Structure 1
Amino acid sequence: MSEKQELNHSRRAILKGGMAMAATGLGVAVTGSAIAAPNTPESFDEVVDVIVVGSGFAGMSAALQAREGGASVMVIDKMPVFGGNSTINGGAMAVAGSSLQKEAGIQDDVNVMVEDMLKAGRGMNDVEMLKLVCDGTAESCEWLIGHGVKWKPFVQHFGGHSIQRVLQTVESSGAGIIRPMIKVAREQGVDMRNQVRMESFIQDDKGRVIGLEVREGYYFPKEKTGKIRRFGARKGVIMATGGFGNDVKYRMMQMPELNSDLDSTNHAGATSEALKQMMLIGANPIHLDQIQLGPWSSPDEKGFGTASQFATIATYPHGIVVDVRTGERFFNELADRKARADAIMTRRDDKHQPVYPVGFTNAAGAAKAQTLAWGMKYNVIKKADTLEELAEIYGMPADKLKAQVARWNEAVKNRDDKEFGRPMQEAILLEEGPWYAARMWPKVHYCMGGVRVNTRSEVLHLVTDKPIAGLYAAGEATGGIHGASRLGACAVAEGVVTGRNAGRICAAEKGINLKLS
């Protein structure tokens, strides 16, 4: 048996023995590194101050902040392109107290944003981490502008937020954040490595994380491709590895109903192996069964698609969603994501098959929807000149649809939605066409769960609740901030703020001496 095989065998034995003791109720003193066999190499192939795993919002924010703090930084990503889910994200960031809000005369406050997120999270949120995120949004927004990010010149109202506080990149994509950050990172000397998959942590004899064993030249998803190498981190490793929304097997362990029949907006690499490696060295997983469905997706296209941006920018703030069987609304279109997704998922026939609702608005409501033309080109978004034509396209009762639109217009005039209590700041009259519509059905979108961290972004141990030395985490890889449901545009907020927090604190560590081979 090789030395590596012996180590793996020992680790499995320790884990098996630990679980057996837990099952029998035996008490045992456990330190922050007790379940991990030390695997300290005599030397490393390469050594830097900080290694960041993942290159999305959290990863790039951590890398840039650490570099600006004077640390040498390496970013690794297992995929052939950088950015992960962040690149295909809608590029919307919730900001409390932005300059654009002030210019528009919108009064906002960090405490109001905290309350909105607590309400959406059903009170399950880690309040201290929540405050850290909300308090950091305005300054981080300006920081992003300083790194080349450009926002649209208006503020949007996303579901679950009590007021308008959402800024969006001019590209309507997270690429409008990721690309500028990667450009600046390279200019500042951050070592960017793609097709490098993390295999395991390397710890010293005290359990401190001092580096990673990786596969360099890895071809996703071929598990054994690439060359094994050891990278050392003098100051620490920051895990910004995102969620596991496209890991069907693992997500079904948390929520069995999220099977392969349900599509995901996530990129192919949104899997669970990095989370599992953190758990193997004692990280505390929390809220793993809190997985969000995106309520703006369409069954008529794969992944994030064109309907998501259309629904977010046009339908939800400026239109309505109806059940095709009745032509009537059945929920608050600006409720939080969980409430909307849960409502949509109830639309089923007597055989429990989906009956896809239709969301629609008119030309005025769709004026800022950048994906409208693409959605129409691929027949995901459809156009109708009259409500009668719209009803015919989707098999709806025209008389009931027209009656519902009339009731909606009366609510807009009175600024009071008596049917479902929807906020009316962005509501418009739907009096004339043309009409633009898309069928809707939720898709797996975001994992609220991950590893538990403190306000220093240090990963906390399952048993001791103390930091695992040398290990930090940020963004979707962490759990607890959003509770039961994440509000729209808060992923960018969380990723950037917690990424910067981890990068700043990790870069300030004293660091240890590591040998090069």
Structure 2
Amino acid sequence: MADAAPTPDAFDFEVGTLIVGGGACGMVAALAAHEAGQEVLVIEADPVPQGSTALSAGLIPAAGTAFQRDAGIEDDPDRFAADIQAKAHSENDPALVDALARGSAPVVEWLAETHGLPFSVVTDFDYPGHSRRRMHGLPSRAGRELIDTLRATAEAAGIDVICDRRAETLFHEGTRITGVAMRRPDGGVETVGCAKLVLACNGFGGNRDMVARHMPQIEDALWFGHDGNRGEAVDWADALGARTRHLGAYQGHGNVAHPHGILITWATITEGGVQVNRNGDRFWNEAQGYSEAARSVLAQPGGEAWTLFDSRIAGIARQFEDFRNAEAQGAVVTADTPEALAEALGLPPAAVARALSDRPGAGEDAFGRDWTGVASLAPPYCGVRVTGALFHTQGGLETDGTGRVLHEDGSVFPNLFAAGGAACGVSGKGDSGYLSGNGLLAAVVLGRAAGAAEV
């Protein structure tokens, strides 16, 4: 268990800015700190930096970017902030929402212009809750490309990254952090002193005890996140007297190919697909989003469902590397008729035919899903068996909007910062507030702010 302790008599070595975690948040923080002239060290528990970023689509929502303008998309931070709060039922700190919404475009453009990341906007489908198309990603639309590119950029800048080092103890004098103890693969412990500490070490989804304690409604879900998410930041917060917030908030995903374990893009739904249970019946309003889908799918017999769509939608989905991998592994089934698709999926033919065709031309159906402007499905048809999963926790240490961690008494820790999965995001209290890309949004915006901050 992670803990805190008084400062030792001496450290094995010292550095100016220490960053715990080598995912997107940690790498962005490192680039910003290096740019600000700080001496930077990143420590990473894995043999190779990847984190939850590598498991995601690597898409960052940003409002008012040059990429949007070039695509003819009118957007602005106020609209983005309103979308975030609407999805989260206004349960978020307005200052944090404003900081993220306003910081999104500058960070994406900084990564593109200063560090050469080739972003583009996803322009061919909408994400639930976003009133504008504002998801920015790299060519493969895969998080692994994003983290690999960020890591290569950091290494090219001469930033030191030490892997196979898991931080266990934070040393402090009152509210000032003085260093960290980290464990090597051989069991030995090294200590490093620092003038500033940035926690970019993910959430606690891999800690089943914490999940059961804070979010029992999802404790039986498939864990699809990074196993390094063990909740050290929450333990450190308890030991230091730091505030935490919304520990029951999480990102679920109700469209994970089963048993292949591959995320299937929600474009399969937003462009006109549906989900059915093992009886071939639809069971909810799929337009609510993929995080909400986790609980809905898990509530079905066997905790499974089938996502049905067509070849037109599959063509859109193929821009995502995960979907191409799912096809290559045989997770996606294609057939010329509803009956043939049903037979291939092991579902009742009449029910599948009804699910594929029984929808209003416009307006809402019996589940409340609005079909206005949504194209009908046409052969060839596609289907994939899916289950619900817990992808990431969204609560964490409370910060002041610049990444500085707040003490229980409302003051700030002078040199302790948290961002990404270690910090509370903007997804409200549970799962219903998750807006696509919020995790990476908080990681890159707060990561840059934390890295560039002076102490």
Establish whether residue 282 from structure 1 lines up as the match of residue 249 from structure 2: no
Give the letter for the 2:200 counterpart.
A
For the residues of structure 1 that align with 2:109 and 2:159, how far apart are their CA atoms?
21
Measured against aligned partners, the alpha-carbon deviations of 1:470-516 in whole angstroms (never above 9, x if no partner) come to: 211111111152213321122111110010011111xx22xxxxxxx
The corresponding residue for 2:269 is 316
The match for 1:30 is none
| Structure 2: distance between partners of 1:140 and 1:425 | 35
Amino acid corresponding to residue 176 of structure 2 in structure 1: R
Measure, in 2, the Cα distance between the counterparts of 1:339 and 1:154. Answer: 22
Give matches, 1:311-460, under 5 Å. Answer: 311-313=265-267, 315-324=268-277, 327-348=280-301, 353-354=302-303, 356-370=304-318, 371-408=322-359, 410-411=360-361, 414=362, 416-422=363-369, 427-433=374-380, 435-460=381-406
Deviations 1:222-268 (A, max 9, x none): xxx4322221112x100011111111122112123444x53212122
When structure 1 is superposed on structure 2, of 439-448 and 293-302 the one drifting more is 293-302
Q: 1:432 to 1:492 in 2, by over 3 A?
A: same
Task: Measure the CA separation in 1 of the matches of 2:254 and 2:117.
Answer: 27
Q: Map of 1:78-89 to 2, 5 A cutoff?
A: 78-89=45-56
Which residue identity does 2:308 align to in structure 1?
Answer: F
Q: Does 1:229 align with 2:190?
A: yes
Give the share of equivalent positions with the same residue, in percent.
27
Superimposed CA distance per residue, residues 323-365 of structure 1 (whole angstroms, 9 cap, x where no aligned partner): 24554433333323443333323323xxxx43x2211221111
Q: Work out the CA distance in 1 between the residues paired with 2:398 and 2:223.
A: 25
Q: Does 1:159 align with 2:119?
A: no
Residue deviations 1:254-307 (CA, integer Å, cap 9, x gap): 123444x532121221111343123211111221122332122133223xx2xx
Q: Please say if residues 203 and 233 of structure 2, whose CA atoms lie closer than 8 Å, have aligned partners that are also in contact.
A: no
- CA–CA separation in structure 1 for the residues paired with 2:50 and 2:327: 28
Tell me the residue number matched to 1:294.
Answer: 253
Would you say the 8 A contact 2:200–2:418 is kept in 1?
A: yes
> Aligned pair 1:104/2:71, yes or no?
yes
After superposition, the C-alpha distances for 1:441-493 in whole angstroms (9 at most, x for unaligned) are 2101111111111123111112x121122211111111152213321122111
1:239 aligns to what? 199
- Distance in 2, matches of 1:157 and 1:386, equals 27
Give the Cα–Cα distance (whole angstroms) in 1 for the partners of residues 373 and 229 of structure 2: 34
Aligned equivalents of 1:403, 1:175: Cα separation in 2 = 38
Kept in 1: contact 2:365–2:371 (CA 8 A): no
Match of 1:66 in 2: 33
TM-score (norm 1): 0.80
Of 210, 221, 225, the match for 1:250: 210
Q: TM-score, normalization: structure 2?
A: 0.91
Amino acid at match of 1:496: V
Going from structure 1 to structure 2, the CA distance change for 1:467 and 1:334 (only over 3 Å counts) comes to same
Partner of 2:57: 90
Q: How far, CA to CA, are the matches of 2:246 and 2:122 in structure 1?
A: 34
Shift of 1:55: 0.9
1:345/1:270 CA distance change after superposition, 3 Å: same
Contact 2:18–2:40 under 8 Å retained in 1: yes
- Compare 66-75 and 158-167 and name the one that shifted more: 158-167
Aligned to 1:125: 92
CA separation of 1:210/1:45 partners in 2, compared to 1, >3 Å: closer, same or farther? same
What whole-Å deviation, never above 9, does each CA across 1:59-91 have from its counterpart, x for those lacking one? 111111011001000000111110211122111
Distance change >3 Å, CA 383–CA 465, structure 1 → 2: same
CA contact (8 A) 1:160 1:337 kept: no
Amino acid across the alignment from 1:321: V
Matched, 1:182 2:151: yes
Alignment correspondent of 1:173 = 142
Would the alpha carbon gap of residues 169 and 421 (structure 1) be closer, same or farther in structure 2, given more than 3 Å must change?
farther
How far did 1:417 drift?
Answer: 4.0
Q: Superposition RMSD on alpha carbons, in Å? A: 2.5
The structure-2 alpha-carbon separation of the partners of 1:232 and 1:182, relative to structure 1 and needing over 3 Å to count, comes to: same
Q: CA offset at residue 423 of structure 1?
A: 6.2
Greater Rg over alpha carbons, structure: 1
Unaligned runs of 5+ in 1: 1-7, 13-35, 219-224, 510-517
